[in-house]
Structure 1
């Protein structure tokens, strides 16, 4: 269903309100959440779930002809981490910074993506995201070498949806892509003024009671079509496919919903080209990787196998009446397996 009025994640019966809404959640009100099949909103099991099984993160990215940049703050309950990176497309080189700390004490979240904040600090690395109704302010300092201060202008038509995960879980996500951004990024003495290069902003704010093992493919980015219209896209398979999907693209800020999406790529070489097509024919894209960031962590109870290639997208988007051709849209794709 389309949720038009309720600003809370959890409904009056103690369960998530599933569906697509036209605006971000104002309150996650997890104190009202109850475990599926029980009538209690308090207790030991609920405390374990809300403390260790609820995952929450915010990612912000810049995709441009010159660089692809990203930064994220993540709270997994038993562990927090941050990462930030800058990929120089002309040089084909990436520089990244990451910190992982036990427990959830290094990453702090308040409110939601509509009106709240997220922050992380460890040593000489700090990230702060201030979420406001109209925009997001990001302040980033990493390793004494990477600095950024950015403002992302929010879309009037964001993608916000809540879907079922298994029998008792849920996943809420707020995504935007192709949004205008301004500010600067500097690294090792080089500085990029974002308003002076063709760039698109990306937002991912997610909170979920996710499956113990989770897999997804994700593609996001943006740019301009051959006629100069601002384009953004958010395409996923593996999560948020039960009843509702988060597959959309934006044309000059107008959101166009699409059906489920299929990703075709080589599991033996993720730097070969990818095909991304929607079941309804609205999305037909080719992705050409230019480099990637990757990690492979396996410590028994916890595992993460992650590939995120960066590059360019080409192809066609359509709403059934009008079509838009992409020739050099900047962005990334992703393969992520997690045991958490």
Structure 2
């Protein structure tokens, strides 16, 4: 598919075998809830986009995100060292997104944030198909990480869902891929290949609900002889279609709706995550937490990303079950008003 928005101003909806070349949101026939056609200013204000790159290994956990919220550009990066329990984190908030740029090409473009001597940069390339993260901070921290997504070895989850009365959300998810590169920080120097690191990636954009919340879970690692990745959510991307799935050696296996059971006031307590179709039964034990809060009235966020270990079972239909034994991953509890 070349463009997500068709010539008539309506979006393509569904689960796609591959990503659209361009998220041409300005061509969308965007209307108010009462049917009034909205102009360029409303399209700019209501369109939001974010990208996330996560690292998982026994020796190092990390995450980096960029978000374009029209009135605000947001970025964060953190690294967690499981053996010592030490963590480093940085956050950036730039009014009107000054110092940021965002490509609307999920497979071939650059998104970045610059603030002083700090750089967060995502590079996505089509040939060869790969995702790359570059982080350079003024304290000497440097992350250079990438993974390959060459088809048919790996099939990303790509979907677009209707949202509220007048919007849509495009999401593209990857998990269960091996990662290469290096990390240099106060936690130490790491060769991502040598520590057998895995990666996961999220590219999302659209006219999302002005006030929303969701839960999310992701893991990447080795389960026996198989590479395993998992992407589950509840509260977003569930209108007609869901993004819920897992991967076995790069093959995407679709999952039904899921239930997250946890204590919102105590996110470091155990979580339970189960799918309606019985394919996923997992328990999550937290080891650390990255938290951000923002309340500007017109913009607000209560974000908790918890990293820890998953145990349980995946039951792909018609196949042997896959035992998940203390694999590292993430869960998330997020509220947003934008």
Normalising by the residue count of structure 1, what TM-score does the alignment of the two structures yield?
A: 0.93
Cα distance, 1:301 vs structure 2: 1.8
Aligned to 2:317: 320
The answer for the alignment partner of 2:253 in structure 1 is 256
Aligned to 1:14: 9
Q: CA-to-partner distance for each residue in 1:31-87, whole Å, 9 max, x for gaps?
A: 32112479x99x8x3212321111111111111111111111211111101111001
C-alpha displacement of 1:111: 4.0
* Counterparts of 1:262 and 1:242, CA distance in 2: 16
Deviations 1:237-262 (A, max 9, x none): 00001100000100000010000010
SS at match of 1:196: coil
**1:302, distance to aligned residue in structure 2 (A):** 1.6
Listed as ranges, the matches of 1:144-155 within 5 Å are: 144-154=139-149
Contact 1:34 1:46 in 2 (8 A): no
User: 1:331 maps to which residue?
Assistant: 329
Over 4 Å off, 4+ runs? none
Aligned mate of 2:135, from 128, 137, 140: 140
Give the direction of change, closer, same or farther, for the CA distance of 1:284–1:189 in structure 2 (3 Å limit): closer
Q: Secondary structure at the match of 1:48?
A: helix
Instruction: Report if the CA contact (8 A) 1:259-1:278 is conserved.
Output: yes
- 2:52, 2:202 within 8 Å by CA — same for their partners in 1? yes
8 Å Cα contact 2:26-2:43 kept in structure 1: no
Q: CA deviation at 1:174?
A: 0.5
Query: Counterparts in 2 of 1:287-302, with a 5 A limit?
Result: 287-302=284-299
What does residue 213 of structure 2 align with?
A: 215
- TM-score of the superposed pair, with normalisation by structure 2: 0.94
Q: 1:236 aligns with which of 227, 233, 244?
A: 233
Equivalent of 1:108, from 101, 106, 112?
A: 101
> Equivalents in 1 of 2:134, 2:298: separation in Å?
34
Task: Say yes or no: does 1:75 pair with 2:68.
Answer: yes
Kindly indicate whether the alpha-carbon contact (under 8 Å) linking 1:63 and 1:69 is maintained by their aligned counterparts in 2: yes
Q: Deviations over 1:154-174 (max 9, x none)?
A: 263100000011111110010
Q: Give the SS at the match of 2:41.
A: helix
Q: Choose which of 136, 139, 159 in structure 2 pairs with 1:161.
A: 159
Structure 1 residues 189 and 320: CA distance shift in structure 2, 3 A? closer
Among 303, 311, 322, which residue is 1:306 paired with?
303
SS of alignment partner, residue 52 of structure 1:
helix
Cα distance in 1 for partners of 2:231, 2:77 equals 20
Q: Which runs of 5+ in 1 are unaligned?
A: 1-5
CA displacement, residues 212-231 of structure 1 (integer Å, 9 cap, x when unaligned): 10100011121111x22110
Give the conservation status (yes or no) of the 8 Å contact 1:62–1:202.
yes
Alignment of 1:41-120 (within 5 A): 45-120=38-113
1:291-310 per-residue CA deviation (whole Å, 9 max, x = no partner) reads 10112222222211111111
* Deviation of 1:143 (Å): 3.2
CA distance in 1, matches of 2:187, 2:156: 35
Alpha-carbon distance in structure 1 between the residues aligned to 2:326 and 2:196: 11
| Aligned-partner Cα distance in 2 for 1:199–1:293 | 20
Decide whether the 8 Å contact of 1:113 with 1:205 is kept in 2: yes
| CA displacement at 1:117 relative to structure 2 | 1.1
- Partners of 2:261 and 2:30 in 1: how far apart? 37
C-alpha distance in 2 between matches for 1:152 and 1:132? 11
Local SS of the residue matching 1:195: coil
Aligned partners of 2:86 and 2:187 also within 8 Å: no
Distance 1:64 1:189, change over 3 A: closer
Matched with 1:24 is: 19
Between Structure 1 and Structure 2, how many residues are aligned? Answer: 331
In structure 2, stretches of 5+ residues that fail to align are none
Q: In the alignment, what sits opposite 2:115?
A: 122
